[in-house]
Structure 1
């Protein structure tokens, strides 16, 4: 499997965990004290790091640091928008499209040779 695809796959999985760690507690633990939400979030974030660290180590064998970062940001938006809409019941915003287009531009400039 190509390095870029391995990296993207691991980053997608890590972003799913991190999105839940950062925002899932707003739905599930809103009545609990903040420190309980923080402990649960840290527990979820552990799995994010167990995927993110190898993703960056594998990816860095062929991709630059800037390419890894832009890939991460594009994946973050691609994971966040469905999470916000489906899991958190947030309405779709046209701003998601504009942000995505800006990231497409960032990806283009960082990955062009």
Structure 2
């Protein structure tokens, strides 16, 4: 079964201000009694944390909420979206109990939405 796609009516790019990506940790490190610590690869593929910030209007905020709540079962299911640096479609998932957070922007009918996601291997 194919993953749901990020809705076309929502912004397809993220804002530079809230963008943060990390390559994930796939190693394990062990301290030794003497000498340098030992380190080795633990996994061949790891989820990679991805923080995104976007601005939406009222209609888009409702679309995002419905997508998260209904399509993604309160954010528990993965979805496909374009990864900004490469423009390739990759699989994302909301991180655990961290739903999107929104706040109104002053002087505009826009909301800033922050999302803590992970890119799945």
TM-score, structure 2 normalization: 0.27
User: Which is bigger in relative contact order (C-alpha 8 A, separation at least 6)?
Assistant: 1
TM (normalized to structure 1)?
A: 0.28
Which protein has the bigger helix share?
1
Report the structure, 1 or 2, having the larger strand content. 2
